[in-house]
Structure 1
C-alpha cells in the first residue's frame, strides 16, 4: 500500500515516525509534517488540503494525526465512492485512539486501524455497525477473500438485514469454511450472496454477486515493447475469453523482464503486482505447454507466459498462449477457497 501520514504538532510528528516504523517494512509510508514541526525525514506542508489533493489519486491510505475535523475537511473535496476512496484513519495527538473514518471495509481502514492499535498500544475505535457488534460484513468478507463486489446497493441491503437479525442466503461454486451464523445455504431468504463468475445468476430476490479476483496473466514480450502494445494484447485475450479485467490479481513473467520498461509501465497503469521467476523455476513447472526453440535459446525456458502463469497461480491454465505484435499472453486461474475467518491482507 501507498500510505500517507500527516501530522500537525510535535507529538503528532513523533507518532508519525512510530507509524512508519511499524508499517514501513511491508508498505510504502510517506510522512508529511506541518512546517512548524518537521524533520529531515519528512516532507513539509503549509496547506494540508492542497497536499492531500496532490496525493489523493496515488494513495491507498491516509493516516492523520490531528483533530478529526481537520482530516475530514482535508479529504472531503476529493471523495468519490466507497468502492474507490482510499482508507482514511485519524489518530489523536496523544496516540491513544485510532479511528477509521472512511473505507473501513473495502479500503481496509478497519483492518489497518487494528494493526496500528496493536503495534502502538492504542485503542481502535471501530464504528461500522457490523464490526462493532461482531457481526458478518459482506464488504469485509469480500475484501478478505479477493472478491469483487458487483452491487453496492445489494451489499448495503444485506448488511442491514444482518443487523435486523434476518437470515442471509449463501450460494457458491467454490469450497468454503463453515458459515457464520448469519448465513445459510438452506431455506428461503430475501437477500443472499452468490459467489461465482456468472453475475447473471440470481438465486435470491436481492442477490449480491461476488466475483473472485483470481486471474493470473502470464506475459512474455520482446525487448523495447510499449505498454500500449502489451495493453492491446492483454485486452484482446480478455475480450476473446470473456474475462473482466477487474478479475486480474497479478502478472507473471520471467526474471529477465523484471525491468522491462513497457511491462513495468503496463503493470503500474493498471495497479497490477508483477511476480518474476527464473528460467530454471519455469522449466520445473509441469503441464502441457507450447514449446518454442527460439524462446528457449533466448531465455532458457521454452515458454514464458504459460509456465509463469501456472507457477504464479498454483492452479490451472485456462487460456493458452496467444501472440500479438511481439507480446504473448496466457491466463491461469488461482484456486479459490472462501474463508470466513480470513482477515484482509494490506
Structure 2
C-alpha cells in the first residue's frame, strides 16, 4: 500500500477544495467563505471571469465580526447580501465599492435588481467614475418614472454622459451613453405536434433580428397548456435559458385585447389564437409589439410587459 506524506494529503485536500469552488462558480448565485480573506481570494482567483457573470462572493472571519463582499458587489448582489448577512449575525459589513462609500447611485446594481441589461460595462464604469468625480449625469427614458432621481442625475437629452432606458439600440443621446434594456419581452408560440427546436428557432431568431431585439431582453416563452410536454418547444426555451409559461384554453380566451382568429386553431386547442394571447398573458396584459406571424407550422407573437422606473427602490 503506497504511503502518503502530509504534503500529499494537503495537496489532495486543496484539490478537492478548488474543485468545489469551480463547481460553485458554475452553479451558485452566492458563495460564502468562512476564514481569512486571503485564502478566499487565492481560491477564487482561477475562476473569476467578469462582473457580468461572476457569482457574489463573501468572506466572513471565524469570529463572525466582519462580512466582506469580495466579488460582484453590484450586479451579483454581494454588497446587499453582505449587509443582510451582517445584520442577521450582528456583524459589520465591509463594503468598499466607490459608489457605496460615497452614497451614490450604482447603475449596475440598479440594473440587475430591476431586470435590465447593460449594453456596455465600459460605459457603466465611466458613468460611475463621473458620479464619483462629482459630475452631473443625464437620463433619457422610454418608460414612466415614479420617483425622484438620484443625486447628480437630471433628465436631459444630450450631454457628456448619461443613461438611456430604452429598447431602441440606436438611441445614444450622450457622448457616452449607458443603454439599459429592460428584460420584459415575452414570446408567445404556437406549433404543430412534433415541431422541432430548429423550426421554432428559425422563425423566432429571424424576427428578433428583424426587430433589432437583443436575446437577453426576452423574459420568457408562453403557449397553451396542451404544449407543456412539446419536446421541441421545451428544448428551445431551455437552450436560451428562458422560463416557460403555459395557459389553459379558458385563460387564453379571457385575455384582454383584440387578437387574430383561426377556426382551425379553435378546433384543435379550444381557443382561436394561441401565440398572441399567451404572449399578452405572460406579459401581464402588456402590449403586443409583434402580431402573429408564422413559418413552417410555427406561430409567434411578442408582447412587452409594462414597467415603471423607481430609483428610490432597489428591488
TM-score w.r.t. the length of structure 1 is: 0.78
Q: 1:335 to 1:67 in 2, by over 3 A?
A: same
SS in 1 for 2:38: helix
Structure 1: give runs of 5+ residues left out of the alignment: 1-43
Write out per-residue CA displacement over residues 56-93 of structure 1, whole angstroms, 9 at most, x where no aligned residue: 33433323334333332332222222122222222334
CA RMSD of aligned residues (A): 2.5
SS in 2 for 1:338: coil
What is the CA-CA distance between 1:95 and the residue it aligns to?
4.2
Q: 1:231 to 1:45 in 2, by over 3 A?
A: farther
What is the CA-CA distance between 1:339 and the residue it aligns to?
0.9
SS in 2 for 1:337: coil
Structure 2: give runs of 5+ residues left out of the alignment: 1-12
Preserved contact between residue 100 and residue 126 of structure 1 (Cα < 8 Å): yes
2:311 alignment partner in structure 1: 340
> 1:91-110 counterparts in 2 under 5 A?
91-110=60-79
> 1:46-61 counterparts in 2 under 5 A?
47-61=16-30
What is the CA-CA distance between 1:129 and the residue it aligns to?
1.6
2:236 alignment partner in structure 1: 266
Q: Give aligned pairs, total.
A: 301
- Tell whether 2:60 aligns with 1:86: no
Pick the structure with greater CA Rg: 2
Write out per-residue CA displacement over residues 291-312 of structure 1, whole angstroms, 9 at most, x where no aligned residue: 2233223322222211011112
Preserved contact between residue 157 and residue 173 of structure 2 (Cα < 8 Å): no
1:324 alignment partner in structure 2: 295
Q: 1:168 to 1:121 in 2, by over 3 A?
A: same
Distance (Å, rounded) in 1 between the aligned partners of 2:23 and 2:296: 37
Q: 1:117 to 1:219 in 2, by over 3 A?
A: farther
> 1:89-168 counterparts in 2 under 5 A?
89-168=58-137
Distance (Å, rounded) in 2 between the aligned partners of 1:202 and 1:120: 45
Preserved contact between residue 157 and residue 174 of structure 2 (Cα < 8 Å): no
What is the CA-CA distance between 1:316 and the residue it aligns to?
0.5
Preserved contact between residue 229 and residue 327 of structure 1 (Cα < 8 Å): yes
What is the CA-CA distance between 1:187 and the residue it aligns to?
9.5
What is the CA-CA distance between 1:119 and the residue it aligns to?
4.6
Distance (Å, rounded) in 2 between the aligned partners of 1:119 and 1:263: 43
1:298 alignment partner in structure 2: 268
Match of 2:251 among 281, 306, 320: 281
1:250 alignment partner in structure 2: 220
Write out per-residue CA displacement over residues 313-344 of structure 1, whole angstroms, 9 at most, x where no aligned residue: 13111111222333322100112311102224
TM-score w.r.t. the length of structure 2 is: 0.85
